Amino acid sequence: MRIQTYAIIPALQPYIKLICTMDCDDDTEVNHIRVLPDACAELFLNYTHTPVARIGGDLYQRSIVTFRMNQPIDVQMRKGAGVLALCFHPGMAYKFIQIPMHELSNTTAALADVWHNTATELEEKMEMAGCNEQRAGIMQQYLLEQLADVKDDLHITQCLSAAQLSGGLVPAGKLAMDTGISQRQLSRKFQEHVGLSPKEYLRVSRFISSLHHLKRYPGLSLTEVACKSGYYDQAHFIRDYKDYTGYTPGQVALNPDILY
């Protein structure tokens, strides 16, 4: 598989985590990959006539959107497929999709079911584009045009920033206290924008932080990874890995078919 990333224009950087193209040549052997949860929504815009991928046993013919909040998914790209992939920062997809995230959490849907005619229009533009750089530009221009109708929720922005900076270790009650709203109000906002409760989002954030340590510092022992990630004991560390990956931490570290 050939993967190429593209620079994100400054106005979209608070919302978009990654833009890349993924091309599977006809002679490329594509393995089943387990993709771990990261509380993000991702778009995959198909610019070929090949089905995009098989996800969780279902074959998706055209463009899709996935909401990988706190469950892993098994993916197999199809030979000959080509897609432009776009990953939103946690809590930012709601600005452009305008569907409560808790209704979509841990699902995969046809993009046409979410963006309706816009999905078809974008697919046509992608197919007609002369190169992948143009495709990335087309997608960013569309999102940029939507920003005029987007209003930031400062409570959510503040909480997500605090959660990220702490690696998921800030208490949910402190998030509510610092924003000046009740925990019930904060929970409602999180369900709408993120698709998870504040407590569950913080738990996922701690798990994601541990994955970063696992990947960047392969020389660390698993006990050290757990400690640096804020786990109080090995039992909670192992439990989160089994819940979010289906494997133990050691199996995740050694399995090349797990993507994180």
Given this model, what pLDDT does residue 13 score? 96
Q: What band does 93 get if pLDDT is binned at 50, 70 and 90? A: very high
Given this model, what pLDDT does residue 26 score? 65
Given this model, what pLDDT does residue 27 score? 63
Give 209's DSSP letter.
H
Report how far apart, in Å, the C-alpha atoms of 244 and of each of 104, 106, 108, 158, 190 are.
18, 12, 17, 26, 20
Given this model, what pLDDT does residue 28 score? 60
Q: pTM to 2 decimals?
A: 0.90
Tally of domains within the chain: 2
Interval 134-160 mean pLDDT: 91
Residue 250 sits in a domain whose CATH number is: 1.10.10.60
Looking at the structure, tell me whether residues 53 and 141 fall in a common domain. yes
CB 8 within 8 A of CB 45: no
Q: Which residues pair with 258 in a beta bridge?
A: 34
The domain boundary residue, chosen from 149, 168, 190: 149
Query: What's the rounded Cα separation, in Å, for the pair 103 and 9?
Result: 30
Given this model, what pLDDT does residue 56 score? 83
Interval 174-184 mean pLDDT: 92
Q: Count CB-CB contacts under 10 A for residue 235.
A: 10
Domain residues for the domain of 131 are 2-149
Interval 168-187 mean pLDDT: 93
Query: What's the rounded Cα separation, in Å, for the pair 248 and 245?
Result: 8
Q: Is pLDDT above 90 for 124? A: yes
Least confident residue range of 71-80, 81-90, 115-124, 219-228: 71-80
Residue 102 sits in a domain whose CATH number is: 2.60.120.10
Backbone torsions φ then ψ of 45, nearest 5 degrees: -95, 120
Query: What's the rounded Cα separation, in Å, for the pair 80 and 72?
Result: 25
Q: What band does 24 get if pLDDT is binned at 50, 70 and 90? A: confident
Closest Cα to residue 6, out of 64, 85, 81? 85
Interval 213-239 mean pLDDT: 93
Looking at the structure, tell me whether residues 192 and 138 fall in a common domain. no
CB 69 within 8 A of CB 115: no
